[in-house]
Amino acid sequence: MHRIAAMSLIIIVLATGIWLGIQPLKPPSPPSESDADYPAYHQMMANLKAMTLAPHPSGSEELASVRAYLLAQIRAMGLEATIEKVRYTVADVEADILERNGAPKFNNNHVGEPPPADAFKDTIRRRAHFDENDEVVLQNILVKLDAPGTDRGILLSAHYDTKPTTPGAADDMISVSAMLEAMREQADKANLRSDLYFLFTDGEELGALGAKAFVQSHPELLDTIDLVVNFEARGNRGGLLMFETSDDNLDAVRYFQSASSRPLAYSFTTALYRRMPNGTDLTHYLKAGYTGLNFAAAEGVEHYHRLSDSFENLDRGTAYHFLQTVMEMANHAASEPFQDSRRQDSLYFPLFPGHLAVMSRAASYALSAAAALFAVWWMIVQIRTDKVRLRMIFVEAGWLLGGVVGAALFSWGIVFGLTRLMQLDESTNNDTVFLSVILALGACVLAAGSLLVRKLSLRQAIAGLVPLLLLLIVGSAALFQDISYLFSFATLGILVVALLDRYRIGRWIATAVVGAGIGFLYAPVCWLIYVLFMLPFAPVVAAISVIPISMAAALLATTSKDASGPNRSAALFTSS
């Protein structure tokens, strides 16, 4: 019965932490008619519906209609827009793709099929409406709100073209519609402290050529625009994630933290995103040397560039999060000029909805060093006092590594089989498959871990965890500092519990807090890795999830020590 109670407690603590960890990932609820944001939200949704009646790729009549609608909305605010045109040929687009991605790989063409080079050009032609001369005219729309007494400003950007296969409600017309409302709010303000640039780019789906042309034609803006804020979408649901920053981002992230009432950002996503074969308009700004922030809704990738990316299918909470973020960034820029003075990177993650924890890169290294030194000191003390033995450390660490490898391999086999059995496209997010695999493996790991440590003391179980955690702390500090907080905080937490082992009440209070905290830290990381890299990365997530589950088992399923000494007292959670 006591073992059942122990397992129940582990599940409750982990579930609480996981639930808390995923709360920041959820978008806010749409406003009601009595809320102050409702008029802007209502107008945004009306504009979005009007501009997503059909796909509107570059060069098409449908895009001309969307552009006319945009310009009419801008004129109704009493503002003037500048239209900047640039002409591209199919050969220009091909050259840009080759410059970015290298030469494409072609299979040997069959009899009757066009040569590979011609087939590649045909693929490009299908991305936009080229004329009979293989040319397309891209038209960027720029609106500038001048602030008196300054030439410094902030640029907000979104693209208004789509793929020929989608009306693009999420990608990217919700951003365009939200920017219209931010512009409307700022249009009548006479006390702006920063210039506000609103840029609606064309040709993003052709390789962000509209943004590229804008950067090339305005080199002077590099000295006057202090921050570029780009809004994108990869999916049509979930919270609006700030997923990419420029280098030396501490001031930019803190600026976002100050501006937003619901900031959602994780420092590790920038490094992950740059390992993906993707680019956005912000890519050209970063290459030119601008400081920038990139936002996107990441969940619901199964609708990306498809007909189902429609007004009807767009999550209303996600739409409202776009509006909130765009309006708050514009409002903050209007009252608080951005100053990028510290020139250092940062580490950040949400503590709860509405608050972002931000620390400098130097502080994150100090945290890693403190966790590593604390772990080494604790291990030395345990070995020198003969509380644990080296052989036991190696055995327990071996079991843990075996669990990590086994979970990864087992998960890979399940995903490999299911994707073929269910005829799933691996480049998609199938939440049911992913959650089923992770929950099943998690239950197995939890049961196995609890059985392995049930006769061990807390210090003995932790001694098997510490070597792996030390390796992860040092490895992340050297190779991937953006995620080091995950291992540093977890290590510090379990070692604090170990120091409280002789104080039964203190141990269990600390265990509940630390156990929930571990679930809180790990859950969003695992979820976002899956969301960004999709089903093929489920084995990676499964391997990572073994670590927090093993820590929870060590904290909650081991025997308890009383203050009398190292001899084992009556176990708190063992069978009677």
What is the pTM (predicted TM-score) of this model? Answer: 0.91
Residue pLDDT, tens place only, 19-45: 999 999 999 999 999 999 999 999 999
Q: Would you say 197 and 87 are in contact if contact means Cβ atoms under 8 Å apart?
A: no
Q: Where are the domains of the chain?
A: 2-23+361-556, 49-104+136-337
Q: Is 412 exposed, middle or buried (0-12, 13-18, 19+ CB in 10 A)?
A: middle
Count other Cβ atoms within 10 Å, centred on residue 257.
Answer: 17
Lowest mean pLDDT among 230-244, 284-298, 386-400: 386-400
Per this entry, what is the length of the chain? 576
Please tell me the class of the 49-104+136-337 domain: alpha beta
Report CA-CA distances (Å) from 134 to 5, 121, 130, 212.
71, 10, 5, 20
Q: Is the pLDDT of residue 573 over 50?
A: no
| 3-state per-residue secondary structure call for 294-331 | EEEEEECHHHCCCCCCCCCCCCHHHHHHHHHHHHHHHH
Distance (Å, whole) CA 157 – CA 198: 6
Distance (Å, whole) CA 240 – CA 261: 12
- Specify the amino acid at residue 5: A
Residue pLDDT, tens place only, 69-90: 999 999 999 999 999 999 999 9
* Residue 355 three-state SS: strand
Q: Is 113 exposed, middle or buried (0-12, 13-18, 19+ CB in 10 A)?
A: exposed
Cis status, amide bond into 172, omega within 30 of 0: yes
Residue pLDDT, tens place only, 546-560: 999 999 888 887 876
Residue pLDDT, tens place only, 418-453: 778 877 766 677 888 888 889 988 888 888 888 888
Beta-bridged to residue 240, according to DSSP, are 297
Q: Would you say 235 and 300 are in contact if contact means Cβ atoms under 8 Å apart?
A: yes
* Residue 198 three-state SS: strand
